[in-house]
Chains A and B, each alone.
Chain A
Amino acid sequence: GAGVSQTPSNKVTEKGKYVELRCDPISGHTALYWYRQSLGQGPEFLIYFQGTGAADDSGLPNDRFFAVRPEGSVSTLKIQRTERGDSAVYLCASSLGTSGSKETQYFGPGTRLLVL
């Protein structure tokens, strides 16, 4: 079956611009996660959704970052007034749920964001 997909795979933008990154989770997965990964580091948690609501957004670095999941499926991560320090790979993951055997997270290939 189809895994988690993310678009675009690469995004180059200029400092100060607005970007949107999209994630399509595995069908039927109620939980969706966003992580950010810098070179040589492990993924860093940003936010996760249970259904349509953000269950935990404690990892968002500042108010320039915002994410939505209006229908409980596709999610969009939005970054305003991008800065060079935002350059990283943005990973999306989904899981069936968040407890017991449902908690395993399945990751997409990531969107590589470069802010010039």
Chain B
Amino acid sequence: SQKIEQNSEALNIQEGKTATLTCNYTNYSPAYLQWYRQDPGRGPVFLLLIRENEKEKRKERLKVTFDTTLKQSLFHITASQPADSATYLCALPLLYNQGGKLIFGQGTELSVKP
């Protein structure tokens, strides 16, 4: 069955450094992949979507890569700030190129220290 894995250990970095989070998936080939941010007690907030024919996508200080051969996505936050501290989730559509059911990873907690 389809499976998504993210770094289970929390990531602690110093302000100003680049944070890199990993999302690996197995047993299927999604048409796209999404990254969400979740703060404690809140619902996930959509950040970026990258499609299978896109190698890299950027939005302000965020950069996402998508390697369909390795079945991996990397999520980078450059010049990190304490306000970036949150849990980051990757998500994939269960059905190829159809919306609806998303499968989420367990999330990676990021802590940026001043």
Chain A residues with CB under 8 Å of chain B are 4, 31, 33, 35, 40-45, 48, 50, 55-56, 58-59, 91, 93, 95, 97-99, 102-110
Contacts and interface: CB of A to CB of B under 8 A. Distances in A.
B23 to A, nearest CB: 11
Nearest to A103: B99
A55 B45 CA distance: 23
14 contacts: A4-B43, A33-B101, A33-B102, A41-B106, A42-B105, A45-B94, A45-B102, A50-B100, A99-B97, A99-B99, A103-B99, A105-B46, A107-B43, A109-B41
10 smallest CB-CB distances across A and B, nearest first, come from: A98-B99, A42-B104, A107-B43, A103-B99, A45-B101, A107-B44, A43-B104, A42-B106, A98-B100, A48-B100
B89 interface: yes
A109 B101 contact: no
Interface of B: 4, 34, 36, 41-46, 49, 89, 91, 93-94, 97-107
A95 B93 CA distance: 14
A99 B102 CA distance: 13
B57 to A, nearest CB: 14
Nearest to B44: A107
B42 A109 contact: yes
Contacts of B97: 99
Given A105-B46, A110-B43, A97 B99 contact: yes
B101 A105 contact: no
B51 to A, nearest CB: 11
Nearest to B98: A98
Given A31-B100, A99-B98, 14 more contacts: A33-B101, A33-B102, A42-B4, A45-B103, A98-B99, A102-B99, A103-B93, A104-B34, A105-B46, A107-B36, A108-B43, A109-B41, A110-B42, A110-B43
